[in-house]
């Protein structure tokens, strides 16, 4: 018996030779277990992320096998480190270049709230410029905490309705940040 | 060549500029003199080109804001004579309403970015500078953040608000 654990099937109706579930759940399962991360690392939290990607903690176990250094192919933007106000437009552009569906994790105190840098030159949390799905506390957070953040995001992804990205609420959210939506 | 001592440097300066060199002090052994706006370029040029001194290297240009003084701003030049192994600090005090001083880019190209930085943070006008615009802060910033009248903290910070702590 192999000790490899497979992703659990979503709830559904099972019978001889068939299994029925909702499209939302099936696609959510696929998305959650193949999140391609885009690391946006500006300081020490990025170093912790390197450890998270490494063999000991191995982020790839969660399906995040391929770090994408192009926003076009990435699903999950990990912002790690202090974002200066001068960097904010760059971060915003990276986010707008990502294709839907896209998720954002703010890793560490600086990305979440500005951290110790309570000063005129530093963005007081990236949620001033882009919407954030998961916040990971810590200064810097340990790799376990980053993994926990990714697993929590997986839960969000699994349970996201397929039409969420077309909903008026989602469009209103993006418009609140001044990010253009198509249609 | 032996290290030039501070007294020799000061004697050369005072021989040339007499009363225009004021407020001489030596905190931590660093010769510090004060010049005025009209003579600062001559002083720097003399320091750079005089064959006995040869202060060829401009270490830094910065400024200090003293809100309680009549002349609110001090522009500070650090120059270094690599040949004579000695440094000097030259200060110029400027009026608070329109702090302006001639540019040192005519002497050192390296002064370009130093003066842009000083303009960026203190709003000192370097007259004659080829491209005086912000260098480190965001372009649309409306204040000169190192002036004491502007708060250091970002006004958008919410997680230190009292109501989060039951105060």
Query: What is the predicted pLDDT for the residue at B156?
Result: 74
**Banded model confidence at residue B46, pLDDT cuts 50, 70, 90:** very high
A109 touching B, CB under 8 A? no
The candidate with the shortest Cα–Cα distance to B31, out of B75, B85, B67, B83, is B85
- Kindly list the residues from chain A whose CB atom is less than 8 angstroms away from the CB atom of residue B153: 118-120
User: What is the rounded distance in angstroms from the CA atom of residue A143 to the CA atom of residue B19?
Assistant: 64
Cβ contacts of B138 on chain A, cutoff 8 Å = 85-86
The yes-or-no verdict on residue A35 having pLDDT over 60 is yes
Q: What pLDDT does A1 receive?
A: 66
Q: What is the 3-state secondary structure (H, E, C) of B48-97?
A: HHCCCCCCCEEEEEEEEECCCCCCCEEEEEEEEECCCCEEEEEEEEECCC
Question: B137–A122: do the CB atoms touch at under 8 Å?
Answer: no
From the list B136, B150, B157, the residue facing A118 with the nearest CB is: B157
Band (pLDDT 50/70/90 cuts) for residue A154 is very high
Closest CA–CA distance from residue B150 to any residue of chain A (Å): 9
Q: Does A16 touch chain B (CB under 8 A)?
A: no
- CATH code at B59? 3.30.460.80
Structural domain harbouring B131 = 6-152
ipTM score of complex: 0.76
The pLDDT assigned to A183 comes to 52
Q: How many angstroms away from the CA of A137 is the closest CA of chain B? A: 13
Domains in chain B, number: 1
Which residues are CB-neighbours of A167 under 8 A, at least 6 positions away?
Answer: none
Interchain CB distance below 8 Å, A118 and B154: yes
% of chain A residues with pLDDT over 90:
72
Find the chain B residues whose C-beta atoms sit closer than 8 A to any C-beta of A. 136-138, 143, 145, 150-154, 156-160
Q: Is residue B163 part of a domain?
A: no
Average pLDDT over chain B, rounded to an integer: 91
Q: What phi and psi, each to the nearest 5 degrees, are found at residue A15?
A: -150, -170
- CATH number at A31-160: 3.40.50.12280
In this predicted model, what pLDDT tens digit does every residue of A64-121 receive, in sequence order? 888 888 999 999 999 999 999 999 999 999 999 999 899 999 999 999 998 899 899 9
**Residues B126, B117: Cα–Cα separation, whole Å:** 11
**Predicted pLDDT at B92:** 96
- Flag whether B166 is in a domain: no
Query: Which residue in A86, A121, A124 is closest to B156 by CB distance?
Result: A124
pLDDT tens digit sequence for B67-81: 999 999 999 999 999
CB B94 within 8 A of CB B124: yes
pLDDT per position as a tens digit, A113-122:
988 998 999 9
With an 8 Å Cβ cutoff, are B154 and A122 in contact?
Answer: yes
Using a CB-CB distance cutoff of 8 angstroms, which residues of chain B are in contact with residue A85?
Answer: 137-138
pLDDT at residue A182, rounded to an integer: 66
Buried b (16+ CB within 10 A) or exposed e, A100-113: eebbbbbbbbbbbb
Give me the numbers of helices (H) and strands (E) for chain B, helices first please: 3, 7
User: CB-based contact (8 Å) between A82 and chain B?
Assistant: no
What is d(CA B86, CA B61) in angstroms, rounded to the nearest whole number? Answer: 17
Query: Which residues, listed in sequence order, are joined to residue B87 by a DSSP beta bridge?
Result: B80
**pLDDT category of residue B23 using cuts at 50, 70 and 90:** confident
Distance (Å) from the alpha carbon of A109 to chain B's nearest alpha carbon: 11
* In a domain? residue B112: yes
Chain A interface, best mutation among B154, B160, B164, by max A CB count within 10 A: B154
**Residues A70 and A102 sit within 8 Å (Cβ to Cβ):** no
Looking at the domain assignment, is residue B159 inside a domain? no
The answer as to whether B101 is a domain residue is yes
B143, B145, B157 member nearest A114 (Cβ): B157
């Amino acid at each position: 018996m192999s000790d490899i654990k497979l992703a659990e099937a979503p709830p559904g109706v099972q019978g001889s030779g068939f299994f029925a579930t909702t499209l939302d759940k099936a696609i959510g399962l696929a998305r959650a277990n193949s999140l391609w991360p885009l690391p946006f690392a500006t300081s020490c939290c990025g170093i912790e992320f390197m450890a998270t990607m490494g063999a000991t903690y191995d982020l790839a176990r969660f399906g995040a096998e391929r770090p994408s250094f192009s926003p076009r192919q990435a699903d999950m933007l990990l912002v790690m480190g202090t974002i200066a106000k001068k960097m904010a437009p760059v971060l915003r552009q990276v986010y707008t270049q990502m294709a839907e569906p896209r998720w954002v994790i703010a890793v560490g105190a600086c990305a979440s709230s500005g951290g110790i840098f309570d000063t005129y030159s530093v963005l007081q949390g990236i949620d001033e410029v882009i919407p954030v799905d998961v916040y990971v506390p810590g200064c810097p957070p340990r790799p376990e905490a980053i993994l926990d953040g990714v697993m929590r995001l997986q839960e969000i992804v699994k349970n996201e309705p397929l039409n969420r990205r077309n909903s008026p609420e989602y469009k209103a959210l993006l418009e609140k940040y001044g990010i253009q939506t198509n249609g | 060549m032996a290290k030039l001592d501070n007294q020799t440097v000061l004697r050369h300066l005072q021989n040339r500029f007499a009363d225009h060199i004021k407020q001489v002090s030596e905190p931590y052994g660093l010769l510090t003199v004060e010049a005025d706006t009209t003579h600062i370029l001559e002083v720097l040029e003399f320091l750079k080109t005089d064959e006995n001194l040869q202060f060829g290297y401009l270490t830094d240009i910065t400024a200090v804001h003293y809100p309680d003084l009549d002349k609110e701003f001090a522009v500070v030049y650090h120059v270094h004579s690599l040949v004579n192994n000695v440094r000097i600090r030259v200060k110029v005090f400027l009026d608070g309403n329109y702090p302006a001083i001639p540019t040192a880019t005519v002497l050192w190209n390296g002064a370009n970015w130093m003066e842009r930085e000083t303009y960026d943070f203190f709003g000192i006008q370097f007259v004659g500078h080829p491209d005086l615009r912000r260098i480190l802060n965001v372009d649309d910033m409306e204040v000169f953040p190192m002036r004491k009248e502007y708060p250091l903290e970002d006004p958008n910070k919410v997680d230190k608000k009292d109501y989060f702590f039951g105060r």
